[in-house]
Chains A and B, each alone.
Chain A
Amino acid sequence: MLDDFFIRALVAGIGIAMVAGPLGCFVIWRRMAYFGDTMAHSALLGVALSLLFELNLMLSVFIVAAVVSLLLLFLQKRGALSTDALLGILSHSALSIGLVIVAFMTWVRIDLIGFLFGDILAVSRGDIDIIWGGGILVIFALVYLWRPLLAATVNPELAEAEGLQPERVRLFFMLLMALVIAIAMKIVGILLITSLLIIPAATARRFAASPEIMAVLASLIGALAVAGGLFGSLHWDTPSGPSIVVAALALFVLSLLPVGRGLRASESLRGGQN
């Protein structure tokens, strides 16, 4: 069954969506959308370095994304500039340094569009193993870190006062983000990773009564978007990565319709009364 390129794309995409859902919830709860974008942009520097030093692509992207996030933590502690400005500097510098390095390497030709927008239809069986293997690892780590991560999201000082370690958890969270970006880059591309993190999670918010439900819903909505986007891309012969994002957006717009809102309002009303 996995011999078919379309089925492989579907399995790989759904694997990514499963991890992106809960992680994306934390990205929006912690207001880290721009941060995720910065890590994704830095992936191009990872691509350049992997070509330069003949490293494994995913490993190289993971290391660069992790280093950029640690650099941000360090600069934030120094507190000279706002996080927004720091992210702007890191994001575009990493992207540009990557492009400049690639330009110097006249002996390689890279498919830049492929890295920016993904090439899900070229997914191999080995990629699927990595996506599902890494994905399961990330899910287990999230389950293990869930309580301290959520508590630190609500209030880091509260979490610390009551014996959790918000700083350590934050570091782990950034490493997980870097891992997911390294895995997902090939599927939806650098520019579209953040949308796969954020749009399904934002869609799930309207229907979720607890953080856990929201995380699971975000995974399911993401998987639905992947399936819808891929079928659409096959049917209308559109680029697959952007089609997935368009499908996710369509689901988000659907969730804004008054039907969904009415459901939620009556639910919270009932909740308030009993």
Chain B
Amino acid sequence: MLNFRPQEKTTLVRLSNAGVRRNGRWLVRGVDFSISRGEIVTLIGPNGSGKSTTAKTAIGVVKPDEGSVERMAGLKVGYVPQKLSVDWTLPLTVERLMTLTGALKAREIEEALAATGMLHMAKAEVQHLSGGEFQRALLARAIARKPDLLVLDEPVQGVDFSGEIALYELIKQIRNRTGCGILLISHDLHIVMAETDTVVCLNGHVCCRGTPQAVSQSPEYLKLFGRRAAGALAVYSHHHDHTHLPDGRVLHADGSIAESCFPGDGHHHHDGAENVHDHDPDCGCGHHARLHGFGPSEKRDA
């Protein structure tokens, strides 16, 4: 059941032309997107495309070197980092992990563990958990504090396919029950969580963005993934009109070369379904693109 409060559309975080520079190199640049309450935004892109950096910028762990990040006053974040290893010298049970960054009532801990199916593991040491169990424990910890914004950096890593679907279903339930905003980072370039409102594809900059198509609408995918997956997964078909050269410069489809991709360069999203130019088969975005028109789902803030 949806029980959103009236401030349902409150913007939690807004990134405007945000960029992060390290050692003279832009890790990511020109990022624009916002997350509102109850909204799910998925960041996709190849390794090293700046997904984690973008997420960390959104929650204030990394400060942007250009552009701006606005966060709602008193924003409460629940964060599941991409890599988290607990040293074996630190005795930490799942139960103790729950109150790592803030005190919780016993009932809140129990509810979060029950929601993620980890209640039976409450007394287990985190070092003894499997990859999927550990991800669930981390998710339980993040939701137990009832955040406004949940940030999940590759939550399905190390989880098998059916576990992935179950996790996506769980994330959907969390969103529906609490109405929090969710920023999800996915390693998969084409298959995203079905409930995603906006997909942002990064490769050092925003390559493109759009809304995914539900798998259930596409018979081929339905056949490929099965009925259970159909509710949880969606396809994000997209293409890029430029390629990244090995030295980081950008080769446009029309043959022109630029130093880097700037937001508002005018070479993204400008051509709809009629886009017929060739796409380089080894697109720097790490996938073979298929022509598929889409319009930008979000208006750029001037």
Q: Is A106 part of the contact surface with B, judged by Cβ < 8 Å?
A: no
Q: Does B72 contact A (CB under 8 A)?
A: no
Q: A210 contacts B77, CB within 8 Å? A: no
Known pairs A29-B87, A160-B61; A211 contacts B81 (CB<8 A): no
Cα separation A150 to B81 with both chains bound (whole Å): 16
Instruction: Tell me whether B302 is interfacial, beta carbon within 8 Å.
Output: no
Q: Does B91 contact A (CB under 8 A)?
A: yes
Q: Does B91 contact A160, Cβ atoms closer than 8 Å? A: no
Question: Known: A154-B100, A161-B59, A162-B78. Is A28-B84 also a contact (CB below 8 A)?
Answer: no
- Chain A residues with Cβ under 8 A from B101's Cβ? 147, 151, 158-159, 162-164
Q: What is the chain B residue whose CB lies nearest that of A26?
A: B90
Q: Quick one: closest A residue to B77, CB to CB?
A: A161
**In the complex, which residues 70-108 of chain B have their Cβ closer than 8 Å to any Cβ of chain A?**
76-79, 81, 84, 86-87, 89-93, 96, 100-103
A123 to B120, CA, bound (A): 53
Q: Is the C-beta of B209 less than 8 angstroms from some C-beta in chain A?
A: no
A272 within 8 A of B: yes
Say whether B187 faces chain A, with CB atoms less than 8 Å apart: no
B151 at the interface (CB under 8 A from A): yes
A132-178 residues with Cβ-Cβ distance < 8 A to B are 147, 150-151, 153-155, 157-164
Q: Is the CB of B91 within 8 A of A271?
A: no
Tell yes or no: A268 within 8 A of B by CB.
Answer: yes
Bound Cα distance from A274 to B100, whole angstroms: 22
Given A28-B89, A162-B145, also A272-B84 (CB < 8 A): no
State how many angstroms separate the Cβ of A266 from the closest Cβ of chain B: 13
A157: B residues at CB distance < 8 A: 56, 61, 79, 81
Cβ of B123 within 8 Å of any chain A Cβ, yes or no, is yes
Most chain A beta carbons < 10 A, residue from B56, B86, B103, B123: B123
On whether A29 and B100 interact (CB within 8 A), knowing A155-B84, A272-B128, the answer reads no
- Provided the pairs A160-B60, A161-B79, A210-B91 are in contact, do residues A271 and B124 lie with their beta carbons within 8 angstroms? yes
Chain B residues within an 8 Å CB radius of A52: none
> In whole angstroms, what is the CA distance A29 to B92 when docked?
11
Check: B110 CB closer than 8 A to any chain A CB: no
Across the interface, which residues of B come within 8 angstroms of A159, CB to CB?
101
Number of interface residues of B (CB under 8 A): 30
Kindly list chain A residues whose C-beta atoms are within 8 Å of the C-beta of B79. Answer: 157-158, 161-162
Alpha-carbon separation in the docked complex, A151 to B100 (Å): 6
Q: In whole angstroms, what is the CA distance A202 to B121 when docked?
A: 26
Do A158 and B60 touch (CB < 8 A)?
Answer: no
**Secondary structure at chain B's binding surface: helix, strand, loop or mixed?**
loop
Interface residues of A in 198-256 (CB under 8 A from B): 202, 205, 208-211, 213-214
Chain A proximity of B109: nearest CB distance (Å): 14
A29: chain B residues within 8 A (beta carbon) = 87, 89-90
**Binary per-residue interface labels of chain B (198-233) against chain A in the complex, 1 for a CB within 8 Å, 0 otherwise:** 000000000000000000000000000000000000
A31 to B121, CA, bound (A): 28
Is A274 a contact partner of B123 (Cβ separation < 8 A)? Answer: yes
Instruction: Let me know if B100 and A205 touch, CB within 8 A.
Output: no
**A272–B121 touching, CB < 8 Å:** yes
A209 to B93, Cβ gap below 8 A? Answer: yes
Distance between Cα atoms of A160 and B86 in the complex (Å): 17
Given A154-B86, A160-B61, A161-B60, A208-B121 contact (CB < 8 Å)? no
Residues of A within 8 A of B59 (CB): 161
Q: Which of chain A's residues have a CB closer than 8 A to the CB of B169?
A: none
A199 to B171, CA, bound (A): 44
Closest approach, in angstroms, between the C-beta of B279 and any C-beta of chain A?
A: 36
Using CB atoms, name the residue of chain A closest to B23.
Answer: A79
A161 touches B61 (CB 8 A): yes
* Bound form: Cα–Cα A118–B215 in Å: 72
Q: Report the Cα distance A202→B87, complex, angstroms.
A: 13
Contact indicator A205/B89 (Cβ below 8 Å): yes
Given contacts A161-B59, A272-B124, whether A214 and B91 have CB atoms under 8 Å apart is: yes
Known: A157-B56, A160-B60, A160-B61. A31 touches B87 (CB 8 A): yes
**Inter-chain pairs besides A150-B100, A162-B76, 15 sampled, C-beta below 8 Å:** A29-B87, A29-B90, A147-B101, A153-B90, A158-B84, A160-B60, A161-B56, A161-B79, A162-B79, A162-B102, A162-B145, A210-B96, A271-B93, A271-B124, A272-B123
Which A residues contact B (CB, under 8 angstroms)?
28-29, 31, 147, 150-151, 153-155, 157-164, 202, 205, 208-211, 213-214, 268, 270-272, 274
8 A-B pairs closest in CB distance:
A271-B123, A161-B79, A162-B101, A208-B91, A161-B59, A29-B90, A272-B124, A151-B101
